[in-house]
Chains A and B, each alone.
Chain A
Amino acid sequence: MSPMSDKLNVASSPHWRDGSGLAGTQKLWLLALLPAMVASVWLFGSHSLRILGLAVAFSVLLDALANKLIPSKDKTTNWSSVTLAVILAFLMPYDAPWWLILVGCFIMIVVGKKLFGGMGAYPVHPALLSYAMLLVSWPSRLDYTASLVSLDWGVKMVEPVRLVKTLGGSAEQVFYWQDLLLGKQVAGIGNGLVLYLLLGGLLLILIKQITWHIPVTFIIGNFLMATILYLVDPGQFASPLFYLLSGGTVFAAFFLATEYTTSPVNPVPMLIYGFLGGALLMIIRAFSNYTDGVVFTILLINLCNPLLDRIRPKIYGLEVASHA
């Protein structure tokens, strides 16, 4: 009857959509990681480019291959493997060999992500799962201090947290906070670039890709726990600000703990989750054998996520039994 009847597009409401698409979201994350990527290339030169390039290439290829074998709704075109690859690359020491990156990407994409059902289904952060497995398999290859021993940036070329751990709290005087902030500290190719990561993280909050809950409470948790430890034993522990600026604290607060799939979705659990993460990071740094506790902290709080997310807000508009 009507010429329009054949071509009208029908869908359920709402018809206005604000969402950027999955690929759009991931691209915004990459935009937020960009300052740190640029700083990393400026600091490490071609080494950083090599690691970033290899990680992205391996990840995307493995993702496409895995999707070909077992097709799922988690398409390669959603760019999630690129973001994960950059995050994994940031954790790598600057002399990481190609095979280490390949194994890392395989564990991250195939085991960590695809085997659990893809984006939205994995229980722990795939990049950190992969990094943790590399760390226990080849601890010497992932030793940041050993990897950077030949470089000299005019600062003490030892991981700050490690030096404090071995020499006691007074060792923090060796480091200037400006150096720590600008990323002149021994770490992976990206996770120690505090200022640039902070800028990217704030951008993520500003463009509403993440909310403030987890990063803010993560930092508060870390700061409080560090303050307590410092007050109890100033000889053994450095000042709270030192722990905030050294290693991957900021990276963890803004980019690792906030990963969508593995973090809580309700506001109150998010606050607890962030706080728990920050405090746990400090506890691991203080009492464990691992130097920078970021990886295991995030993996542990990831596992708490399903339990925390059971704290749910009260639903409005329900029929109450007494009314019936």
Chain B
Amino acid sequence: MPISPLQTVLRSLAHVPKFSACEKTISPIRDPDHVVIPLEYPGQVLFKPLVQSGDTVRKNQIIGQSSLGNCVHASISGVVKEIKPIWTARSYNVPAVTIERNEEPALSADEMFECYGVPFQSASRVEKLKASGVISPWTRPGRFHHEEEVAGFPEVKRIIIKGVNEEPTVFTFELLLEQRAEKILQGIKQLNDMAPNAAIWLTTPKHLTKWARGQFGDSVQIVGVPDEYKHRIERLLVPRLTGVDVPNTVPYRKKGVAVLSVEYLLTMVDALEGSGPFVNKYVTIAGSHIPKAVTVRIPLGTPIRTVLESQGFNEETCTRLLVGGPMKGIAQYSDETPLTKSSHGIYLMSEESLPDEVNLTCMNCGRCTRACPVNLQVHLIGRYVEHDLLEEAREFHPEACNECGLCAYVCPAHRPLVQLIQMCNQYVGQTNEPHER
């Protein structure tokens, strides 16, 4: 069990403040002029396109299908402009469909299931999920494993529903938890039906714990999670709640643990009751110069710029653009990047919020090592990798790193510690490597 009270006293762990101000209402943005929908989630699933450039597609239409029958849908109605490789927000080069908007109406759920080949009424639960683009909830998220591997995984015994995001600036899960409680309760019932033997936990922000007990307390165990980032890190939360030690390099599912978010649960309910496929995504926009974070609902594949413009954010003041949050988010080189199923937040950073100097010399103060929630000797790994001694660095088990970023957060020399560990791990080839296609 990581981070015991004794440890907290022994090692002054880092304090990452939570972005406190957030707009409670979730506003949907209007359909963008174009969307870009990736046809692959590297290492997990690859879709074969069912459309060609020039085709007219309607919203909710299936435009790609995987070998196991999982689907990807058009999130707006329009004309397919092209199918070509793009760079995703997570820096993978994958094929993607670009759709330019027209005014055709959306497909109804029945029409969509007709396309899939099985009418909604006679479709099994798994078929409904697959047809709606909700890949079986046990496969995502987690470390990479191909959809076909899932068949061999053990029965799900423990389920964690995430009602809080890890990132201090992303509010999508907690807002949905508060505002869609009834539907979430339905989702929990569905989970109970699907995995009758599983224990279910629901994480909530501390201030919602009491309310959540009243709402969901009968069917799930409510876990109040403090606001501080170090208590929210998923890879640490999962073993603490379930009591199952899941090694960092192993998907949760291999140990009979499933982790899903409330957002995911909602799309699952939609899929099962036939109210539409997974085409919308919730995203929180925050930033160093944005006083109040806003959360919006967007069609999947909307470019970042369109989302920002819809909320009237002035891009000129932004120097660094992140998809995700400030701790684990990925800096984008272009604001054309489309947002996908795994993008929960956008974070804008102004010039002033970036450190003046980076990658100074390590003075061996060890704050990184004391901040590391999994007890890695970060200062040693960082210096070994810096001097190209990757074999030596490997002896300190960098593969246990879940890239939470606390080491680099506290580093007074602003060293790129997470990157140094990543380099080491890529060399080891045990984590972060997508499977062969």
Docked Cα-Cα span, A317 to B370, in Å, equals 17
Q: Which residues of A contact B248 (CB under 8 A)?
A: 317-318
Q: A53-71 CB contact bits vs B (8 Å, 1 = yes)? A: 0000000000000000000
Q: Does A319 touch B at the CB level, under 8 Å?
A: yes
**B-binding segment of A7-15, A97-105, A243-251:** A7-15
Instruction: Give the shortest distance, in Å, between B217 (CB) and chain A (any CB).
Output: 30
Given contacts A4-B321, A312-B375, contact A9 B334 (CB under 8 A): no
- Indicate whether A261 reaches chain B with its CB closer than 8 angstroms: yes
Contacting pair B418 A14 (CB below 8 A): yes
Residue from B246, B250, B366, B375 with most neighbouring chain A CB atoms (10 Å): B366
Surface stretch bound by A, among B38-46, B116-124, B408-416: B408-416
A-B contacts counted at CB < 8 A amount to 188
**For the complex, what is the distance from the CA of A264 to the CA of B377, rounded to whole Å?**
12
Bound: A25/B361 CA distance, A: 13
Q: Looking at the assembled complex, report how far the CB atom of A15 sits from the nearest CB atom of chain B, in whole angstroms.
A: 5
Q: Which of A5, A21, A211, A313 sits near B414, CB closer than 8 Å?
A: A21
Is there an interface contact between B321 and A120, defined as CB atoms closer than 8 Å?
no
13 contacts between A and B (CB under 8 A): A5-B333, A8-B321, A8-B331, A8-B332, A8-B333, A8-B334, A9-B349, A12-B418, A15-B320, A21-B414, A73-B361, A264-B366, A315-B397
Given contacts A78-B360, A265-B364, A265-B366, A315 and B376 within 8 Å (CB-CB): yes
Q: Please report the C-alpha to C-alpha distance between residue A20 and residue B370 in the assembled complex, in whole angstroms.
A: 17
Known contacts A4-B315, A8-B319, A317-B402: does B336 contact A18 (CB below 8 Å)? no
Leading 5 A-B pairs by shortest Cβ distance: A265-B366, A14-B405, A73-B361, A317-B248, A12-B419
Residue of A nearest to B356 (CB): A21
Given A15-B327, A21-B355, 14 additional A-B pairs, CB 8 A: A4-B334, A8-B319, A9-B349, A10-B331, A12-B422, A15-B320, A15-B322, A15-B347, A19-B355, A24-B412, A25-B412, A120-B361, A266-B370, A320-B247
**Quick one: which of B12, B329, B361 contacts A74, CB cutoff 8 A?**
B361
Most buried by A among B236, B354, B360, B408: B360
Instruction: Report whether B405 and A13 are in contact in the complex, using a CB–CB cutoff of 8 Å.
Output: yes
Residue of A nearest to B419 (CB): A12
Interface residues on A, range: 35 or more
CA distance A323 to B256 in the complex (A): 14
Q: Are B349 and A19 closer than 8 Å at their CB atoms?
A: no
8 Å CB contact of A2 from B318, B335, B363: B335
Q: A13: which of B315, B327, B335, B410 is its contact (CB, 8 Å)?
A: B327
Per-residue CB contact flags for chain B residues 235-255 toward chain A (1 = under 8 Å, else 0) read 110010000011111100000
Give the residue name and chain of the A residue nearest to B398 (CB).
A315
Report B-chain residues with C-beta under 8 Å of the C-beta of A313: 375
User: Given the complex, which residues of B lie within 8 Å of A265, measured CB to CB?
Assistant: 364-366, 369-370, 379
Residue A153 at the chain B interface, CB threshold 8 Å: no
The residues of B that contact A11 with a CB separation of less than 8 Å are 320, 331, 358, 416
Q: Given the complex, which residues of B lie within 8 Å of A312, measured CB to CB?
A: 375, 377
Contact with A along B389-413 (1 / 0, CB 8 A): 0000000010110110110111111
Give B275 Cβ to nearest chain A Cβ, in Å: 36
Is B149 positioned at the interface, with any CB of A under 8 Å from its CB?
Answer: no
A4-B335 contact, Cβ under 8 Å, with A14-B328, A21-B414, A316-B400? yes
